[in-house]
Amino acid sequence: MVRLDKLNVQGICKKIGGVDILKDVTFSLRDKEIKIILGASGSGKTSILNTIAGIIKPDAGKILKKGMEITDLDVNRRNIGFLFQDLGLFYSMNVAENIAYGLRVRNLDLKEINRKVNDIARSFGIAEHLSKFPSQLSGGEKQLVSLARTLVTGPDLVLMDEPLSSLDSFLRNSLRWYIKDIPRKFDVSIIYVTHDLADAEILGDTIAILHEGRIIEDGKKEEILNHPKNTATARILGYNIYEKDGKTYAIHPSKVLIGGPTVAKVIYLERGIKNNYLVDTSFGKLYFFSDQEFNGQTGISLENSIELGA
């Protein structure tokens, strides 16, 4: 039996105001997979989600969900959840009404709605907030309400548009593990767009790199993070990029080793949880961090560098 992907995006193109926002975007998503779409601001991340959700229509290309084409299907008929960057909570409704909204439009029985709302509120730890309005909630509680509202309707797929970007780092960390658990608990796949590498490292099963509206790399998380194939990907992943003998190399700041043949003069040393160094070498300026002390006398090793393609 052929196993169908949860989602197949095939050659999506979109032009807005004469500018190509998405160019031949193609990728697929398996069951219970979390795919991270990583890209700089303005690279088209939100437009991809809006296209998959049906909020904007592509100029060309196809979107298939479980093998069925949904490219022209109305947004409300796709059964795709969407967690917006600003969450999109309904400020005229309390938490219970917010969560119940999707169930009410599906004309579920009132008893069933109550049961589902209470169950999901308990599982997200927000049961005591059900009668509150969004304006009375903290940032983290709003996130949980938005997650509960999205998942209670049982979507096949959830799209997340940098939902953690406005939270402090403690909340971000704890909510990442919440989200990590969602595919297993709720039997959904997730597409999560972000420019935050920590989101990608913790949440992703696969990572797609989006650069100027085009997916330039797509693959397993470990492969993409550790072996970028081109300069744009390496830049997005925070690598140092330098040239040597007419070839381009990338090295991650954590992979620069103290002690080695490359002469490096310390420009800046900033002590924090680790020691952060900006050094000048014959290949240009490089940034790295280490637990060790470095004063420029021993040199550094760039042996972990990766050779990049075009």
Partner 1 sequence: MSRKISLPLLYVAAYVVVVVLVPLILLFFYSLHASLSPLFLKILAASVEQSFLQGSISTVLSLGIGLFFGMLLILYDGKFKSIILSLLLITYVMPGIIMGLGIISIFGYSSRLWEIIYGNVVYNSPMIAVLAYSTGTSTNLGEIYSARVLGAGDSQVLWKFYFRNSLRGGLLGGILTFILSFEGFSLPLIIGGPSYSTMEVIIYEFKNIVPTFTQFPFSNASLPGILQVLILMVPLYIYLSIRGNSRRNDSGLPLPLKRYSSFALTGLLLFLAFVLTPLFAVFLKYPIWMINLPEIVRRLQLPFSSLLGNTLIFSFVSTFVAFMLSIIITVYRPSTRNQFLILIPLIFSPVTLALSYFLVYGGHVPTAILIILIFTVILIPLNIRMLTQAVDTIPNSETGSSRTLGDSPLSSFFRIQLPRVKWEITTILSLMFITVMGEFSSIVTVYSPSTETITVGIYRLLLLRDLKDTYGLTEIFLIVIFISSYIINRMGKSGSVGQA
Binding residues for partner 1 (CB under 8 A) = 53-55, 57-61, 72, 74-82, 84-92, 101-102, 105-106, 149-150, 153
CA distances for 197 relative to 221, 250, 280, 281, angstroms: 11, 17, 26, 26
- Looking at the Cβ atoms of 153 and 231, the one nearer to partner 1 is 153
- Indicate the residue type of 278: L
Q: What gap in Å lies between CA 2 and CA 297, rounded to an integer?
A: 60
- Looking at the Cβ atoms of 37 and 80, the one nearer to partner 1 is 80
Nearest approach, Cβ of 94 to partner 1 (angstroms)? Answer: 13
Nearest approach, Cβ of 108 to partner 1 (angstroms)? Answer: 11
Nearest approach, Cβ of 101 to partner 1 (angstroms)? Answer: 6
Nearest approach, Cβ of 82 to partner 1 (angstroms)? Answer: 4
- Looking at the Cβ atoms of 108 and 171, the one nearer to partner 1 is 108
Burial of 36 by CB count in 10 Å (0-12 exposed, 13-18 middle, 19+ buried)? Answer: buried
- Looking at the Cβ atoms of 152 and 232, the one nearer to partner 1 is 152
Nearest approach, Cβ of 120 to partner 1 (angstroms)? Answer: 14
Exposure letters 86-106 (e unless 16+ CB within 10 A, then b): ebebeeeebbbbbbbbbbeee
- Looking at the Cβ atoms of 75 and 263, the one nearer to partner 1 is 75
Q: What gap in Å lies between CA 44 and CA 24, rounded to an integer?
A: 12
- Indicate the residue type of 71: T
- Looking at the Cβ atoms of 5 and 59, the one nearer to partner 1 is 59
Q: What 8-state DSSP symbol labels residue 165?
A: T
The number of C-alpha atoms within 13 Å of 104 and in the hemisphere containing its C-beta is 9
Nearest approach, Cβ of 32 to partner 1 (angstroms)? Answer: 20
The region, left, alpha or beta by phi > 0 then psi within -120 to 50, assigned to residue 138 is beta
